[in-house]
Amino acid sequence: MQTSFRHLHFIGICGTAMGAVAAALRDQGFVVTGSDSGVYPPMSTFLTERGITLASGYAAENIPDTADLIVVGNAISRGNPELEAVLNRRLRYISLPEALRSFFLSGRNNAVITGTHGKTTTTSLLTWILQCAGLAPAYLIGGIARNLGQGCSLHESRHVVLEGDEYDTAFFDKRSKFLHYLPELVAINNLEFDHADIFNSLDEIRTSFRRLVLLVPQNGVLLVNADDANALEVTSAARCPVLTVGFSNAATHRIHTLRYGNGVSFSLMNLEFELQIPGEFNVRNAAMAIVAAQFYGVPPETIQAAVASFEGVARRQEVRGTVRGITVIDDFGHHPTAMRLTLEALRHQYPGRKLWAVFEPRSNTTRRAVFQHDLPEALGRADGVILAQVARLDQLQPEDRLDPQKVVADIVAKKIPAFYEVGVPEILERLRESVGEGDVIVIFSNGGFDNIHERLLAALA
């Protein structure tokens, strides 16, 4: 990136990653301005305290005459008045992943954690291990680890840990974001179909991962889930060492001897590990982070202590409260596999208790009919199920939408109580009538779900 750039303007600045990058560039001495359709605390306060001028709403006049580089957010599309002004004025523009590569990742030891599931937890744990080892890593994570207190810190450091999203980069660059991250280490947790709004098939997703694999240098390393055939398949052309991590006997780093208690303990690399967060899938996430930390030379005893003290990530099996013996849990799950694995983990954590699953079909994939047959199998692991109305119905043709009532009927056919309730008030009333002392309610949504968690706790009280 040429050093003549002095004034950067961010279109869509109040996104978590956009705001963090904008603030880090301001700390480096750049002039930074930005705009967004939703300028409100805490992000607006965070940015203004860093000396960044914000505009609420999009308008061509928001772009200062002195701005010589425009960072265009992933949510910005043609028709946005600021974007149109940028194109009309022939201003230099880049995506957020390009800005990361140009200003923060060049020449550093970049660990990129990828996969359909488990990215946030694995990235958070690896960051925490490196922090406990005194390596002070910079990081960019799509969630907030309780040990870290924030999702992003782009300070000066030799080590950078990034959650590598396969989603597209910008309106002008439909490649996956992770292809911009100059990886030294790549971990592939798993690989399934997702993001039906940008990928047409699993083969397209595999292609994107194959491209990432080709970017890992010979002196880097590739970690892959030994138990996932799709993940293994995309590594065939790797030009770096490949380490396989999992429960398979063929794994180069085999997990074994799981023992459940308050969390879970397991063995790996002739070492014993204690993990506070339950579930076989979290053990695999932890194993990926452990092997990555070993690559960076972290002593075994430091890794063990860091894993044992890791408190997990907000909105991942997060207990929001207990009222009258009824436990309410928030989970970001929005893919059938993730929800199934979470329900299985909660079975271990709350043995003998009735488990309710409440699901809001809100992601761009679960709103569609893609998982019509997978959702009953996943949610059917609960003892009772409630589905909400598909979010943003008007954006989908009827034939393309998920049919939640059909999902409910398929679950009822398994002799499991299941209900379709349009909105939160109806869901709350159904739960008030149905749950009892000792029950566990897990609410799956990748959005705010109309503050259902607090409203449910109040309703139960």
- The Cβ of residue 324 has, within 10 Å, a number of other Cβ atoms equal to 11
327: β partners: 322, 440
> Would you give the DSSP letter of residue 158?
S
Q: Are 379 and 416 in contact (CB under 8 A)?
A: no
pLDDT for residue 380 is more than 80:
yes
Name the residue type at position 297. G
Task: Place 397 in a pLDDT band, splitting at 50, 70 and 90.
Answer: confident
pTM of the model: 0.88
Count of all residues that appear for the chain in the document: 461
Enumerate residues 6+ apart whose C-beta is below 8 A from 95: 71, 72, 74, 169, 170, 172, 173, 180
Phi first, then psi, for residue 290 (nearest 5°) are -65, -45
Supply the pLDDT for residue 278: 85
Left if phi > 0, otherwise alpha if psi is -120 to 50, otherwise beta: which for 270?
Answer: left
Task: Place 152 in a pLDDT band, splitting at 50, 70 and 90.
Answer: confident
Supply the pLDDT for residue 1: 44
pLDDT for residue 2 is more than 70:
no
Quick: pLDDT tens for 70-107: 999 999 999 999 999 999 999 999 999 999 999 999 99
Nearest CA to 40 out of 59, 64, 15 is that of: 15
| Strand-strand pairing, 185-188 and 173-176 | unpaired
Torsion, CA 86, CA 90, CA 95, CA 96, rounded to 10: -60
pLDDT for residue 388 is more than 60:
yes
SS3 226: coil
What angle do the packed helices 119-132 and 300-309 form, to 10 degrees? 130
Nearest CA to 47 out of 17, 15, 23 is that of: 23
Domains along the chain? 7-96 (3.40.50.720), 107-309 (3.40.1190.10), 318-460 (3.90.190.20)
Supply the pLDDT for residue 349: 87
The burial of 293, by beta-carbon neighbours within 10 Å (0-12 exposed, 13-18 middle, 19 or more buried), is given as buried
CA 237/CA 137 separation, integer angstroms: 29
Quick: pLDDT tens for 330-368: 998 888 988 998 998 899 889 999 999 999 999 888 888
Quick: pLDDT tens for 279-324: 888 999 999 999 999 999 999 999 999 999 999 888 888 999 999 9
Apex CA 206: angle with CA 205 and CA 208, to 5°? 65
Enumerate residues 6+ apart whose C-beta is below 8 A from 415: none
> Would you give the DSSP letter of residue 400?
G
Phi first, then psi, for residue 175 (nearest 5°) are -75, 160
Quick: pLDDT tens for 401-443: 899 999 999 999 999 999 999 999 999 999 999 999 999 999 9
The burial of 408, by beta-carbon neighbours within 10 Å (0-12 exposed, 13-18 middle, 19 or more buried), is given as buried
Supply the pLDDT for residue 307: 98
CA 140/CA 142 separation, integer angstroms: 7
Is the alpha carbon torsion for 206, 208, 210, 212 positive or negative? negative
